[in-house]
Amino acid sequence: MPEFLTLLPPADALKKLLDHLQADPVPKQVETEHALGRVLISPVTAPHPLPEFPRTTVDGFAVQAADTFGASESLPVYLELIGEVPMGAAPEMALAAGKCVLIHTGGMLPEGADAVVMLEYTQQARPQEIEILRAVAVGENVIEIGEDVKDGQEVIPSGTRLRPAEIGGLMALGFTSVSVACKPKVGIISSGDEVIHPGEKPAPGQVRDINAYTLSAVVEGAGGEPVFYGIIPDTHPAMYAAAERAKTECDVVVVTAGSSVSSRDLTSQILDELGKPGVLVHGVNTRPGKPTILAVCDGVPMIGLPGNPVSALVNTLLFVVPVVKALLGEQITRPQPTVPAELSINLPSQAGREDWVPVILKSTHEGYIAEPIFGKSNLIFTLSRADGLLKIPADATGLSAGELVEVYLM
């Protein structure tokens, strides 16, 4: 069997692939309430300040702050109560010195008021008279006009993946629809004479298809649209036809299995035949997933993944997800959720190779302990039992028991 000629570090391999991509997201107008997880294709500018009027953050009494200076429980200040601010409407009164107005959380400050005393620091002295038991400063318990957003301010940059907070912000500014990037179509091809549909009963030597479904789930989570092209036999005509069709219909193509170097593994050969420049990387210096193939065929990124389920899933996270995000135009990158943990045992590794190890996190009074799960790369429940993945960097020969590590949550 021929050997891999070059094993690139994962980061170098990914850069080589991304450098050949020409991301040009197609805009689509969607209702904001259904835009969670979508990537904004153009920036959002505030059409008005937020809030549009000064409002209170507490229940209490709107006052002129100067009237409360020196107030305390032993020496209260007395203010005349002249009315109540109605919710959802502008107050009809203006506030003069020595006066106060009852106001509820979110209510609009009357003209002349510049602070609000919380209800807890007041009491009714006599009818139409309020005892103030604590002084407030100008602006205390008040949100000023434009304190959240200024008129004309860019509030959400293009390339942002919308979270619940952004959805709420868009609604607060009256954007009931928003322009987002269309979901890239990701063609998924399973190959192998031994692979059958999960609904079938395997005969001796057969296995159910796992990768098409784990990969589809990852693609959907990344913002793409998976398109399944079925289970293709290990023949050149069948594989070529399926890959060519997927290339014409999708923005990305992923082939699982057929990435190793052997007489029956055709993926590398077919990807080189489908368009230019063809295969960019065949072999990544990582475990699991060394035989991963990265190619671009006439502008379409095409990725060949190992057939082993753990290898396929880990390398989908390393390579397919970043490609989907690049095609979406996602530019606001947020940190991957991680948890610091103490490693339970020594973990050896080969220098120059990046290892990804599934771990279980166990909670203690001091934090978390990361316990590695050992299993071969064709055992899917190795990952199913894991809480996350631990990376052993390429420049390390392993990690020591008791060492503090970062676990990438799955």
Residues of the chain with pLDDT under 50: 1-4, 263-264
CA distance 340 to 407: 6
- Whether 10-24+183-328 and 27-47+156-181 share one fold: the answer is no
And the tokens for 404? 């503090």
pLDDT the model gives residue 2: 41
| pLDDT for res 300 | 96
Helix (H) / strand (E) element for 101: namely: strand 99-103
Kindly provide the b/e burial profile for residues 233-271, where b requires at least 16 CB atoms within 10 angstroms of the residue's own CB.
ebeeeebbebbbebbeebbbbbbbbbbbeeeebbbbebb
Q: What per-residue confidence (pLDDT) applies to 259? A: 52
| Most distant CA atoms of the chain, gap in Å | 96
The pair of three-digit structure tokens given for residue 376, joined into one six-digit string: 């071969």
Architecture of the CATH domain 55-143: Beta Complex (2.170)
- The encoded tokens of residue 143 equal 């949100």
Helix (H) or strand (E) segment spanning residue 82: strand 77-84
CATH architecture of 338-409: Beta Barrel (2.40)
| Per-residue model confidence as pLDDT tens digits over 159-195 | 999 999 999 999 999 999 999 999 999 999 998 888 8
**Residue among 133, 131, 101, 130 nearest 115 (CA):** 101
User: Which helix (H) or strand (E) is 190 found in, with range?
Assistant: strand 185-191
CATH number listed for the domain at residues 27-47+156-181: 3.90.105.10
Q: What is the pLDDT of residue 264?
A: 46
pLDDT tens readout for residues 302-324: 999 988 888 888 899 999 999 99
Query: Cis peptide before 51, with omega less than 30 degrees from 0?
Result: yes
Tokens 């991509």 found at: 21
Structure letter (DSSP) for residue 107: P
Residue ranges per structural domain of the chain: 10-24+183-328, 27-47+156-181, 55-143, 338-409
Contacts of 84 (CB under 8 A, 6+ apart): 101, 102, 103
* Tens digits of residue pLDDT in 272-309: 999 999 999 998 888 887 889 999 999 999 999 988 88
pTM: 0.84
Please give the pLDDT value at position 100.
97
| Tokens standing for residue 314 | 């880990």
Fold (topology level) of 10-24+183-328: Molybdenum Cofactor Biosythetic Enzyme; Chain A (3.40.980)
Q: Do residues 354 and 394 lie in contact, with contact meaning Cβ atoms separated by under 8 Å?
A: yes
Beta bridge partners of 102: 61, 84
The Cα-based distances of 128 to 58, 82, 120, 318, 336 in angstroms read 21, 7, 18, 68, 57
Q: How far apart are CA 24 and CA 395, in angstroms?
A: 36
Q: What is the DSSP letter of 261?
A: S
Amino acid (one-letter) located at 47? P
Cα distance between residue 85 and residue 103, in whole Å:
5
Residue type, 218: V
Residue type at 222? A
Confidence at residue 261, expressed as pLDDT on a 0 to 100 scale: 54
- 27: three-class secondary structure by DSSP: strand
